[in-house]
A = this chain, B = another copy of it.
Amino acid sequence: MEQDRFQRGLDKLKEFTSSEEVNHLIESDGLKDIAPDLRKFIVEFAYGDIYTRSGLDNKQRALVTLSSLVTQAAYTQIGTHVKRGITSGLTPEEIIESIMQLIPYIGFPRVQNALNMTKKIFEEHHVMIEEK
């Protein structure tokens, strides 16, 4: 049953990132020596228990997650979840707009920093922004 939660989480995670990258995440977990259970809890609980719930689709969950990370200025994780948002089906424009939408709620500094991180990820992954 625990195995089920882990497997269910892994399957869900693959909807947000390539299976190649999932394997990489599990096998080369940088924290496996000091905190091997962190990765397990992320897969089992975050992806297995929470992301698999009904009520929101993957794109909505990616938007909600990104908005929280921008608000708390968690720049490493903003990078990770911009990529996962793209894989889950968000367009680059939706990602940028969701960050712009936060200006009235958190102000310019964190929005600017989040957009700089987004730009870096887009460039590394050759994400194209459509001309408007």
Contact = CB atoms under 8 A, between A and B. Distances in A.
Interface string A95-132: 01111111111111111110110110010000001001
Interface string A38-55: 100110011001110111
Contacts of A35: 96, 99-100, 115
A60 interface: yes
Nearest to A99: B35
Please classify how large the interface on chain A is, using the bins under 10, 10 to 19, 20 to 34, 35 or more.
Answer: 35 or more
Per DSSP, are chain A's interface residues mostly helix, strand or loop, or mixed?
helix
A67 to B, nearest CB: 4
B109 A107 contact: no
Contact of A105 (B34, B69, B98): B69
Given A34-B122, A45-B49, A76-B113, 19 more contacts: A30-B119, A34-B96, A34-B118, A34-B129, A35-B96, A35-B99, A38-B111, A46-B108, A50-B104, A51-B101, A56-B98, A63-B63, A63-B67, A69-B105, A72-B73, A72-B105, A73-B73, A77-B109, A105-B108
